Structure formats: C-alpha cells, structure tokens
Amino acid sequence: MRIELKDENQEEPQKIDENDIRYKHESDLTKKEKRELEKMKLSSMGLGGRLQYIWAYYKPQMAAVVAVIALAFFVKDMYQNSKIHTALTVMVIDSYGMKQEEAEEKVQEALEIQDDPYEVVTVDESLRTGEDGVALESYSQMAFTTKVAAGAMDVLIGSEDYMAGFQNKDEYFMDLTELLPEDVYQAFGEQEDKYSITITSDQLASDLEVAYEPIQIGILANSGNVENAVKWLTKLASELEPV
C-alpha cells in the first residue's frame, strides 16, 4: 500500500465562501449586493480603468442625464425668447456699420426701454446701394424686399437720392403729416415730402455712420411698431436742429 505524505509547504485549496458576493451569480445578487460589488471592482482599479468601467456600464444613464440637462436649457431658452419683443427695427442704407450697438442703445434710450432686457431694438446696417447711390445692389434689393414683405422693418433711413428712387411712396411709407403730432412734424421744419422727414445733423450722421446729408427717414406702411417709431421721431425732433 502506497502512503502519500502531506507536504507541509503546499498551500491548501482556498475554500469558497458561498456568501461572498464576488462568487455569486449576478442573477442571485440583490440590488444592495450589486452596488457593493461595483464599489469593490472600482476600488481595485486605477483611474483609467475606473473611467472606462463607468463609461462602459453607465453610458446610457450618463447620456440620459446629459439629455435632460440639455432639454432643460433648451426649454429655458425658449421661454426666455418667447418673452422678447422687438420694439423697433431701423434699417440704415449705406452705413459704415462699425457702431451698431451704440446706435441701438441710443434708440433704446429714446424709447426709454434701456433697462428692459425683453425689449429689443435692431439697427440694421447691412444694405448697400450701387455706385449711383440710388438703387440697391442686387443682394441688398432681395433682402430689402424680403424684409418689407415679412414686416420685419419699421423705419427706413437713406439719402435723398435713394429715397427719391421709390416710385409709389404711398405703397411703402406712411403719411407723416397724418401720423405725427402736428407740433412734432413742424419741429422738423418745412418738408417737401410727406412720406419722409429730412434732417441735416452731423450728430445723427455720426450716430448712424453715414456719409450723406441730409438724411431722410420714413416709416414703413406695414410697420408693426408704429407707436415706437413715432416716439423715436418725437425724441429726434426735440434734440435736433430743424431743417
């Protein structure tokens, strides 16, 4: 009979603790045990391994969180934008367009809305005439037609040559003799054209960044902000020298 002697240096097989969550099947784990197991896995990993593990196993949850945050900002922006109202849009023909923000601030001050974040003034200086100074360049003409048709323009400012180029002014502009209070209209001095106000002012030319004088101002027939347009002209009448 063969007798095998036990090697005292040989390690005994490690006994498996059936209650150790590391050896349990995943389907047998409780939610608490699953969380504990994940903590154990993460604690045994380096930083890079942890990031990869988190990304691999929590990618859907992380994407959902990002989506919820993005949606919250989107809804907030929509709500804020819904409260914004365009108080006045002024189109200036042939402006240098270097001080647009300053020009907008001055119109806001004239309308007394400079402290209201939801009342917006736009001074558009994007349209240009050709070399003759009368007709708009092709791109500018298309933009002008689109803006007028959309009712996206309240006040038009241009040179005498440009404003004289409108054949049927009553189709484009309001009759200022009827629109403006009599004292305001008279404050601008004698006018030859009831569809525009003619102003000679170095200060206004500087504010609007135009090289031509006098300056002519008309209110579009389909303006949605007539009251503010009148208020702005009234302010100009009180500040500028009459023609």
Residues 65, 176 within the same domain: no
Bigger pLDDT: 78 or 168? Answer: 168
Determine contact, residues 199/236, Cβ cutoff 8 Å.
Answer: yes
Note whether 36 and 102 are same-domain residues.
Answer: no
Q: Do 185 and 102 belong together in one domain?
A: yes
Per the domain annotation, does 7 fall within a domain?
no
- The answer on 74 and 107 residing in a single domain is no
State the pLDDT at residue 243.
Answer: 45
Q: At 66, is the pLDDT very low, low, confident or very high (cuts 50, 70, 90)?
A: confident
199/67 Cα distance (integer angstroms) = 55
Cα–Cα distance for residue pair 20/2, rounded to 1 Å: 39
Domain boundary among 80, 96, 122: 80
131 and 163 in a single domain? The answer is yes
- Same-domain check for residues 122 and 170: yes
Residue 127's pLDDT is 93
User: How many structural domains is the chain composed of?
Assistant: 2
Residue 23 lies in a domain: no
Q: Are residues 133 and 52 in the same domain?
A: no
Q: What is the CATH number of the domain that holds 131?
A: 3.40.190
Q: What is the pLDDT of residue 8?
A: 56
Same domain, 46 and 88: no
Of 19, 49, 80, the last residue of a domain is 80
Average pLDDT of the chain is 81
Amino acid type, 90: V
Same domain for 99 and 60? no
What confidence tens digit (pLDDT) does each residue in 108-145 have? Answer: 999 999 888 889 999 999 999 988 888 999 999 999 99
Measured between alpha carbons, how far is residue 95 from residues 46, 159, 195, 204 in Å? Answer: 62, 11, 21, 12
Q: Are 32 and 49 members of one domain?
A: yes
Residue 108 domain boundaries: 84-239
What does pTM read for this prediction?
Answer: 0.68
Task: Please tell me whether residues 36 and 143 are part of one structural domain.
Answer: no
